[in-house]
Amino acid sequence: MSSCVTFNFDGRFISVLNVAAGLLREGGLLSLRRVSEGELTVEALKLLGCRVPYLDEVKKEWCSLEELGLYDDVSPSPLRVFSSTEELLYRNWPTPLVRLQSLSRSGVAAWAKLEFYNPFSMSVKDRVGWAMVREFLERNPSASAVLYEATSTNTGMALAAMAAIKGLKAKLFLPQTIQRASDVLLSTMGAEVHRVPKSLTVETIGEVEELARRGRGVHLNQFDNDANFKVHFKYTAKELDLQVRSAGLRLCGIFSGIGTSGHLSALSLYFKCRYGDHVGVYAVQPAEGHAIPGIRRLETGMKWIHLVRVDRIVDVTLEEAVEGVLRVARGDGILVGLSSGAVATVFEKLTSELERGDYVLVFPDHGFKYVKQLSKYFKAQAQSARAAGSE
């Protein structure tokens, strides 16, 4: 099945994206005199989080993206005092970038971007929940809608948090393959939780769309909502860019899991346009027949990945993902989630083929949600050890 048929591609958005990609390639604006309200360039600059230099402000012919404030919205609160929990999210960015001794080999360094430092779901999905709700409320300022969403937990937690902050309600739909603890976590945060008898496929998403329509709710739909891609393009990518620059790294590649494909696609477009195609992009998906929470196989339907360049798509089994978690936990002392373990394993598998340099591994969440899968792995290990002992 082609995934493209089920998504709404907004032609204007794609044109703006192309202009933004051009601006990143150029590193600035060549002829400021051409900029005027209504132009694609204006929207592209806004998408990048830059100031728009209108005609009468213009003193010269060339302006770099930095001069236009590309990095200005990466502004952490230095003493970590926040006026609201919403501010706790975006004024706490960048999330940390840390070198991993467990995965780095001579000349090939692994740097993990720790998305579990986000406060609501302890995952990358806080960014998406925040962006989708903010965009929705900008368009519908007095809305008191119920938010419907299909989620593998993290987006649900982020939406439940945003609903609590904004005085909205959230109705969440979890696939059967997701750990039972999620129902408790999401209900604790005030959401209504339902189970769907499938994994997260385009059909499931369609069913939630229909339920939202019948219930007169709002289906924000992280799989199709461009706010997902935009928040990673405007924030995640730029903060990573600043971190890489300030650490003086030689960025050769980015490894990342794919669920909606939001973060990987935004990072791919941003870094390949700004620094060139030698920045490799490696997408990680579950091997056929394996369920790894948060990531899915490309053919189950994704939107933005089809608009960007990806160098390799690599399969990982659930066991390999758990082994990646153990490697990082026992080598670096941090307990990451299964999709992070999957990314770690793929990086390890490919290390010998990689050119010398620095690589970023996006670790989307923390390991605390995956006790069930981890204990199942330990039981299976103990069983095979017993079987081997009795042979």
Applying CB under 6 A, the residues found at the interface with ligand PLP are 123-125, 152, 154-155, 257-264, 293-295, 337, 339, 364-365
By beta-carbon proximity to ligand PLP, the closer residue of 68 and 158 is: 158
Distance CA 228, CA 193 (A): 22
- Please report how close the Cβ of residue 309 comes to ligand PLP at its closest, in angstroms: 16
By beta-carbon proximity to ligand PLP, the closer residue of 44 and 342 is: 342
Buried b (16+ CB within 10 A) or exposed e, 211-223: bbeeeebbbbbbb
- Please report how close the Cβ of residue 200 comes to ligand PLP at its closest, in angstroms: 9
By beta-carbon proximity to ligand PLP, the closer residue of 280 and 337 is: 337
- Please report how close the Cβ of residue 182 comes to ligand PLP at its closest, in angstroms: 11
For residue 123, give the 3-state DSSP assignment: strand
- Please report how close the Cβ of residue 128 comes to ligand PLP at its closest, in angstroms: 7
By beta-carbon proximity to ligand PLP, the closer residue of 29 and 284 is: 284
What is the DSSP code (8-state) at residue 174?
E
By beta-carbon proximity to ligand PLP, the closer residue of 264 and 322 is: 264
Residue nearest to ligand PLP (CB): 294
By beta-carbon proximity to ligand PLP, the closer residue of 217 and 293 is: 293
Q: How many CB atoms are closer than 10 A to CB 306?
A: 15
- Please report how close the Cβ of residue 70 comes to ligand PLP at its closest, in angstroms: 22
> In this structure, are strands 97-105 and 312-316 parallel, antiparallel, or unpaired?
unpaired
For residue 80, what are the CA distances in angstroms to 84, 89, 90, 92, 93?
Answer: 11, 11, 11, 7, 11
Tokens 């940390």 belong to which residue?
A: 96
What is the DSSP code (8-state) at residue 234?
I
What is the DSSP code (8-state) at residue 1?
-
- Please report how close the Cβ of residue 17 comes to ligand PLP at its closest, in angstroms: 17
For residue 22, give the 3-state DSSP assignment: helix
